[in-house]
Structure 1
Amino acid sequence: MASLPITPWPTEQAEIVPLPRPRLVAVETAAQPAVAAARLSVLEWSIVALAERDSIASLREPGRIAAALESLFGLHRPNKLANPRLEVLRRLAVFVWRQGWKVPKSELQAFLAEGFTLDHYELVQASIAASRNPALKRGSIR
């Protein structure tokens, strides 16, 4: 069994050096940069508005049988958007229109991964909630 050598305890007392007293420094709160409010472009708002007509089923990929039935009976499914950023916004907006705040975590993560922020998410939620409730549009609820 290996062990470390034990050094004897010093018999002399070590000199205690006093530490300097801490200084308080004032912090400027006005110097912090202002956070810009979250905004969506006109195109992005139109995607949110168009998502009102889509159902949750429009977000799922059709299976082989569903695709065959759609082609056989001429059923139409909403197309995905070509721009991945707008498609993620559309998917999130469909969930918000249909389920309110019950948006799947994976959809919210994809939304954030495309460069949107939680402020954008709250803006979409508030806008859709206001369009559902006329009292919120008038600003009578405080």
Structure 2
Amino acid sequence: MAFIDFTDAAPEALPVIPGRSAQDARRNQAVSALSDLEQRIVELARADGLETLRPQRKRSWLGRLILGPQPISPELANEQLEALRRLAVQAWHKGYTLPVSAVREAQAAGYSEAQVGAVIDTIGRMRAPFRRLAA
């Protein structure tokens, strides 16, 4: 079975800005698509688990008595950044096979298709490569 490596396909499709080389354009692809704060959210989402995507239940009085106070919610206060965090968490855990609902949620929050693609491609490049157990 053949394997086609598409890791460098997306930067080649981008237009080259005059005065910059194609390699500089590849390096700065995600930088131009996302702000510094948004890049930081994507990096922080790496440590979050899939359980942070579920809504947090309130503890009853008995639960607070036994287990202590309610833990801090992992959700962000800004809805747009929370949609980006949700997309990034799923991309870190599922790679390119993340559900379409995550992409739609990010687009509904105001991110363009190019920005969503840049997030997914950036995470895909930073993830550990797939290793085969048997040949």
Q: TM-score range by the shorter chain?
A: 0.5 to 0.7
Runs of at least 5 residues in structure 2 that lack an aligned partner in the other structure: 1-14, 18-28, 130-135
Show CA shifts across 1:104-130 (max 9, x none): 222211111112122112211111122
Show CA shifts across 1:40-75 (max 9, x none): 0000000000000111100101345xx348744347
Counterpart AA for 1:93: A
Distance 1:99 1:106 in 2: 13
- Give the count of matched residue pairs: 98
Which protein is richer in helix relative to its size?
A: 2
Identity %, equivalent residues: 35
The runs of at least 4 aligned residues of structure 1 exceeding 6 Å deviation read none
* Residue among 113, 117, 120 paired with 1:118: 113
CA RMSD between the two structures: 2.6
Per the normalisation by structure 2, the TM-score is 0.60
Show CA shifts across 1:24-52 (max 9, x none): xxxxxxxxxx8x97610000000000000
* Greater gyration radius: 1
Checking the alignment, whether the CA contact within 8 Å between 1:55 and 1:94 is kept in structure 2 is yes
Counterpart AA for 1:55: G
Runs of at least 5 residues in structure 1 that lack an aligned partner in the other structure: 1-33, 135-142
* Cα distance, 1:92–1:123 mapped onto 2, change above 3 Å: same
Quick check: 1:86 aligned with 2:81?
Answer: yes
